Chain A
Amino acid sequence: MALQSLDIKQRSATTTPSTQVRQTVEVAKLIDVSACIGCKACQVACSEWNDIRDEVGHCHGVYDNPVDLTAKSWTVMRFTEVEQSNKLEWLIRKDGCMHCSDPGCLKACPAPGAIIQYSNGIVDFHQENCIGCGYCVTGCPFNVPRISKEDSKAYKCSLCSDRVAVNQAPACAKACPTGAIQFGSKEDMTDYAAKRVTDLKERGYDKAGLYDPQGVGGTHVMYVLHHADQPELYAGLPANPSISPLVSLWKGFAKPLATLALAGVALGSLFHYVTKGPNEVSKEIEDEIEREDSEKEGAQ
């Protein structure tokens, strides 16, 4: 999206530091699940602002529509019916990119500059640099990125980085009729969440809390949950998300280690040749063969 080159904190497949001189305020989107009515205005606003029209899907017998995130649906409402304290509860969670401080997608991405983390915390895909390998999907702890079947590029919520760059709230937050989606500095959103949590606790949800998982360094999309002790209730929101150890191994220390090992083998071979010399057929054996040949000729 926008090239805010001074505000890039991290860039995929780049081993040197990105611009660090300017610090911007960290932003966050706060989704208050307890105030969501499931109207999907946010889904429509996302589609409108980003000018993407997904296929009209099918009714799957539940309210979820589309039934999953796609390359053209960057946010979806997930509806879950659960029983808590002998009461039926209808939990509605707006799913989409969490904009992790430690993004697994960016760690896994092999294409320089295909994934950017801005200093305000937004993690953005730059599709012009995307090669379509799907490593971001492998790296993401929240199962968010989707590879388009049309162009094999990866897509996900951009937190409306283009709107945020000009001091506008993301389209979903703007459209939400109940104020369930708030947007501002991460600090303000954390304070606001604390007020909501206090309110929910007063109303009997004593396990209410803020979802800002530290396993991924905190996120720039946070939830207020009435059952913060059981985030899995909300359509499988992971309780302790972090970058998979397999991904850390693969795109962590294995990279420099394997590179050094290969360089070692190549240089080791070269210096072996230089110090020990080639392994040639010995003079002795050459002579033996020659002698055998001349004996044979002599016998004929």
Chain B
Amino acid sequence: MIRDPKDLKRYDASERANHWTVGISFILLALSGLAFFHPAFFPLTQLFGGPTWARIIHPYIGAIMALAFVVIFFRFKHLNKMTPADKEWLAKAKNMVDGNDHDMPEQGKYNGGQKVMFWALAVCMLLMTLSGLAIWRAWFGFDITVVRFGAVVHAAAGAVMIALIMVHVYAAIWVKGTIRAMWYGTVTRGWAKQHHRGWYRQVTGK
């Protein structure tokens, strides 16, 4: 693959590895978790060596995801503070979804939508981790009411999170030139100028 030396660096190798750790864990967790949620998804347990294995490994993968997410959270937290420009962006997000992004306000490294996604995922991740520990019978034995709340919260936060991640993945597919940032860390200058002009100015000095 020939890469333009003028491409802009968006993520370093460690950040990419961190994101992939969270991403792979999430996919495995979603597939096995859905299997325990609705019988329609139960055959997915075969991907994990059968239903009992799926039950055994699901929480351990969850622990890996939780740890990897804590790292990614503290890495990117300072870049996800909401600003007035983000609120303006969010107010106009409908136009962007409709395919018209010409008069979107200038955005830094992340736009308002990405920041909302960041915080929504952080809340879901916290709920998933706490409720997951509450229902992890191999290691813990909480009071039945705690376990019942845990089961409801885990299922609800899980469903919300799967929906959020679908939007996250789709946004990356929809906005062309994005996915390469996840693979090898760079984006084109045109991509940066169009979608994150504030960040473009900051890194190019223009």
User: Could you tell me the distance between the alpha carbons of A112 and B39 in the complex, rounded to whole angstroms?
Assistant: 7
Contact B148 A138 (CB under 8 A): yes
| Of the residues A13, A131, A135, A282, contact of B54 by C-beta under 8 Å | A131
**Chain A 212-253 per-residue mask, 1 if CB under 8 angstroms from chain B, else 0:** 000000000000000000000000000000001011011000
Contact A288 B163 (CB under 8 A): no
Contact A246 B152 (CB under 8 A): yes
| Of the residues A133, A269, A272, contact of B36 by C-beta under 8 Å | A133
Contact A259 B51 (CB under 8 A): no
B159 interfacial contact with A, CB 8 Å: yes
A265 interfacial contact with B, CB 8 Å: yes
B38 interfacial contact with A, CB 8 Å: yes
Majority-rule SS of B interface residues: helix
Residues of B within 8 A of A132 (CB): 52, 55-56
B167 interfacial contact with A, CB 8 Å: yes
Q: How far is the CB of B3 from chain A (nearest CB, A)?
A: 15
Contact A269 B170 (CB under 8 A): yes
| Of the residues A247, A259, A279, A281, contact of B148 by C-beta under 8 Å | A247
Q: How far is the CB of A254 from chain B (nearest CB, A)?
A: 6
Q: How many residues of B contact A (CB 8 A)?
A: 47
Residues of A within 8 A of B174 (CB): 269, 272-273, 278-279
User: Could you tell me the distance between the alpha carbons of A289 and B135 in the complex, rounded to whole angstroms?
Assistant: 54
Contact A273 B137 (CB under 8 A): no
Contact A138 B147 (CB under 8 A): yes
Q: How far is the CB of B105 from chain A (nearest CB, A)?
A: 16
User: Could you tell me the distance between the alpha carbons of A278 and B171 in the complex, rounded to whole angstroms?
Assistant: 10
Q: Contact residues of B with A, CB < 8 Å?
A: 6, 35-40, 42, 45, 51-52, 54-56, 96-99, 101, 135, 137-138, 144, 147-149, 151-152, 155-156, 159, 162-163, 166-167, 170, 173-177, 188-191, 193-194
- Ordered nearest first, which 4 A-B pairs have the shortest CB separation? A258-B159, A269-B170, A13-B39, A246-B148
* Further 9 A-B residue pairs, CB within 8 A, beyond A132-B55, A256-B38, A258-B156: A14-B39, A108-B151, A131-B45, A254-B156, A259-B40, A266-B166, A276-B98, A281-B176, A281-B193
